[in-house]
Structure 1
Amino acid sequence: MDSPRLLRRCLLAALSAVLTASAFTPVAHAAPQAAEATVFSDTFDGPAGAAVDSAKWQIETGDNVNNHERQYYTPGNKNAALDGRGHLVITARRENPANYRCWYGTCQYTSARLNTSGRFTAQYGHVEARMKIPRGQGMWPAFWMLGNDIGRVGWPDSGEIDVMENVGYEPGTVHGTIHGPGYSGSGGIGAAYSLPNGQAFADAFHTFAVDWAPGSITWSVDGTVYQRRTPADLGGRTWVFDKPFFLILNLAVGGYWPGDPDASTAFPQQLVVDSVRMTTSDSAGGTGAPITGLAGKCADVAGANSANGTPVQLYDCNGTAAQKWTVASDGTLRALGKCLDVAGNGTADGSKVQLWDCTGGPNQKWTVTAAHDIVNPQANKCLDVTDNNSANGTRLQIWSCSGGANQKWAVG
């Protein structure tokens, strides 16, 4: 990736005025985690031609010299409008009826970019957009997030989470990336996901998501996890993702990374957005819910004993308090008033898990992913039933994530 492409994250001048894991083998499809609260949702219902809901989105305008993109982002519903069938359609056109001026002279293209700054920000949760992307050389659709403090600290110190980017010359591949101080531009840290058998993302709707928790971000496409990043991936550089971010949708035309459109590129092109949603763990009730795993059995605090060091094991589900877990907003899993803890702050395969006073330590942080993994980000390992043994009383541990049935959990 070319470093100038992400200088666009400094945003257009208009926005500046407004604002003051290592990759691993994909695992199977899974439903979103249970026990969640929806904190943002837009299904783009409304009459055809209507603008987006201004209570949720603001429209950015202008060009982008930093990345040498070719489009002019227009206001209102000129290039971003509802289609009357529950979709937002962002349209890139080869036109310039208003005689807009761009960094290179008279603009050749128009498109749209919108964000939730000043309307919605959130910290941690499951963030997803179901979209059908455009096709063609020079097309560059993106769904991403920026730290809400960008107006104060600037980019890249604000942090950036690219949930999905696609460049037109890779019709079957999308990219997920993080950017921060010392790892921005071409130094951004990420991975790519490709569809099998030569499929193109423009052929159908797909769901692009991240599961974002304290100290970890996990990317998925249609529920298949393809990448997880933690502070351990940064080589000592600063992790800037434990704070509020806002959402951005845009369709760029041209630029250093995708290259410019050519004679093969048909216009207009459209990014069709079916929905954008963000959910967070709903732990307000405090009563908890079961964590169900191998052979339909539950994660269980042995003997319902709340003493520090009590083993956590697999056991027949019985509905007792020893099996009621709360996914807390601080990234912990709690039962009987205490936290699921990796004994001795261990990170090695086979480190046992236990119940312990909540300390805020990294050995008590967990990410529940859309692929039904429960991951300790510090170790980058999964909650695992020892030896794949479904007998009552089998200890739970952490182990390198393999996608096996003994590492799959349903929360709630």
Structure 2
Amino acid sequence: MHPPRLRRRLLTSLVALAAFASLSSGLAQGAPPARADDPARLAAPAAAAAVTFADEFDGPAGSAVDAGKWQTETGDNVNNHERQYYTAGNRNAALDGQGHLVITARRENPANYQCWYGRCEYTSARLNTAGRFTTTYGHVETRMKIPRGQGMWPAFWMLGNDIGTAGWPASGEIDVMENVGFEPSTVHGTIHGPGYSGSGGIGAGYSLPGGQAFADAFHTFAVDWSPNSISWSVDGTVYQRRTPADLGGRQWVFDKPFFIILNLAVGGYWPGDPDGSTAFPQQLVVDYVRVSTDSAQPGTGGPITGVGGKCVDVAGANPANGTPVQLYDCNGTAAQRWTVGGDGTIRALGKCLDVASGGTADGTAVQLWDCNGTPAQQWATPAARDIVNPQANKCLDAAGGSSANGTRLQIWTCTGAANQKWTVTR
């Protein structure tokens, strides 16, 4: 565990939101990647259904970012005792003419900028999409090459769009990727909300094998965000998933619009200040930022197929509450036409796929029931082809691994086995 540390929590003047401060998370380091054969393997990020935001950073070298997508924050950040001054325009954030955004941290003060500690020693840049773009759920991804060196602190993260009225941490925060220079091989993903903010933030670290440094190459960082479920991945490997079950009864504040932030901080309580070993300038090179709707989005309805090519079926096409859900030969009837909704539900015959009595134990049957908005009817459908009930943190499963007609469906600990793999057609 890291010692407690303060983190960046201030939106500066261009965002026109109230200042706020916090302690940062003490996170576990070096979580190993899930293996393909690991029974505890988590679901992979969602496949893109529709791109809702994309910046490929194409443009002439030296040009500023697209102001229709990003605004540039300015000023310092006393809350974390960071050392940089964030500048406007293209001075510290510019396109390189090769399809990248380059955020540059320099040891300089060309305009006599004043920081909380006196005359600023460094400049850098921080960008956000507030007022331009927000998303509720989806696959949020960036490919970037991070800087290296003591005191460097690159981050790709999101804040609840109600930060101005709700304040932090009630607004919620999703840290997709953070790195501190003294951990060249490790990045962190965290959520913050009321009662689990600052040093109580919930998250984990991911480390590259063999002591590789993230600064040596481009890597892809993403979250797959669905109702009641957020998963983090590095280069397609999911290393943690968080659900309301992780909060110990505290409020889940991640079912509303969030905006995106990119920044490169210098110094602060968590990374510590640069020292004589830190070379400047340092650069955060961003290849792209993309947001797409995840696979839990509305569709016209279609079959869900599983083991043996059989379809998820409402027994006897009966719409009554409590009707078993089973495997059966695909026949194109309404009993096999399922709609995966943006609200996290999976529906057929006007009813919802439901975990009986809201159970969380292995072997709890699934059934058809009136849609009621409870966690028993919430499902995440990521591209790894698992169908997960986040409340139980378990997968939709064909009992006994059977593909016979009439095989009852249930929830079970996710194993990656064929009887837990499903193809959703919309």
**Pair 1:335 & 2:348 matched:** yes
Shift of 1:146: 0.6
Say what the alpha-carbon RMSD is for the aligned residues: 2.6
Q: How far apart are 1:63 and its partner, in Å?
A: 0.9
Q: How does 1:87-98 map to 2 (within 5 A)?
A: 87-98=100-111
For residue 351 of structure 1, what is the aligned residue in structure 2?
A: 364
* One-letter amino acid matched to 2:228: G
Report the residue type matching 1:45 in the other structure: D
Q: Residue 129 of structure 1 contacts residue 273 of structure 1 at CA under 8 Å; is this kept in 2? A: yes
Q: Provide the rounded CA distance (Å) in 2 between the counterparts of 1:137 and 1:337.
A: 57
Q: Distance in 2 between matches of 1:391 and 1:411?
A: 20
- Aligned pairs (5 A) from 1:183-198: 183-198=196-211
Unmatched 5+ residue regions in structure 2? 20-27, 37-41
Partner of 1:375: 388
Aligned to 1:5: 6
Q: Is the contact between residue 27 and residue 403 of structure 1 (CA under 8 Å) also seen in structure 2? A: no
Aligned counterparts of 1:65 and 1:279: Cα–Cα separation in 2? 34
Q: Deviations over 1:234-290 (max 9, x none)?
A: 222222222211111111111111112222222222212122122225788742244
Scaled by the length of structure 1, the TM-score of the pair is: 0.90
Q: 1 CA distance for matches of 2:231 and 2:79?
A: 29
- CA pair 284-362 structure 1, distance change in 2 beyond 3 A: closer
CA distance in 1, matches of 2:398, 2:190: 31
Note if contact 1:55-1:119 (Cα within 8 Å) is conserved in structure 2.
yes
Q: Does residue 133 in structure 1 map to residue 146 in structure 2?
A: yes
Secondary structure at the residue paired with 2:410? strand
**2:376 counterpart letter in structure 1:** N
Aligned-partner residue type, residue 242 of structure 2: R
Q: Give 1:359 deviation, angstroms.
A: 1.5
Taking the aligned partners of 2:283 and 2:331, their CA distance within structure 1 comes to 51
**What displacement does 1:399 show?**
1.2
- Residues 364-412 of structure 1: CA deviation (Å, up to 9, x unaligned): 0011234433211111112222222333432221112233333333433
Counterpart in the other structure of 2:25: none
Asked whether 1:272 is paired with 2:272, we answer: no
Q: Corresponding residue for 2:15? A: 15
Structure 1 residues 260, 403: CA separation in 2 closer, same or farther (over 3 Å shift)? farther
> 2:13·2:73 contact (CA, 8 Å) conserved in 1?
no
Is this contact kept in 1: 2:9–2:79, CA < 8 A? Answer: no
- The counterpart of 1:227, out of the listed 240, 248, 251, is 240
Matching residue of 2:39: none
Match of 2:114 among 89, 94, 101: 101
Percent identity of paired positions between Structure 1 and Structure 2: 77
Q: 2:319 aligns with which of 293, 306, 309?
A: 306
Gapped runs of 5+ residues in structure 1?
none
- The reply on whether 1:397 has 2:410 as its aligned counterpart is yes
User: 2:246 matched to 1:245?
Assistant: no
Match of 1:26 in 2: 34
AA in 2 matched with 1:344: S
Local SS of the residue matching 1:90: strand
* CA distance in 1 between partners of 2:14 and 2:328 (Å): 57
Cα displacement string for residues 308-338 of structure 1 (whole angstroms, at most 9, x for unaligned residues): 3332233455554444332211111122332
Greater mean alpha carbon deviation, residues 95-104 or residues 111-120: 95-104
Deviation at 1:296, TM superposition (A): 4.6
Q: CA deviation at 1:225?
A: 1.8
Q: Which residue pairs with 2:87 in the alignment?
A: 74
Query: For residues 137-157 of structure 1, what are the alpha-carbon distances to aligned partners after superposition, in whole Å with 9 as ceiling and x for unaligned?
Result: 211111111111111121112
| Secondary structure in 1 matching 2:6 | helix
Residue of structure 2 in register with 1:211 after alignment: 224
Which residue does the alignment assign to 2:179?
A: 166
Mapped to 2, the partners of 1:82 and 1:11 lie a distance apart of: 23
Aligned equivalent of 2:213, options 192, 200, 205: 200
**Which of residues 169, 174, 180 in structure 1 aligns to 2:193?**
180
Alpha-carbon deviations, 1:200-225, whole Å to 9, x = none? Answer: 22222222111222222222222222
Contact 1:289/1:324 (8 A) holds in 2: yes
Q: Distance between the aligned counterparts of 2:297 and 2:119, measured in 1? A: 54
TM-score (norm. length: structure 2): 0.88
Contact kept? 1:139, 1:253, Cα under 8 Å? yes
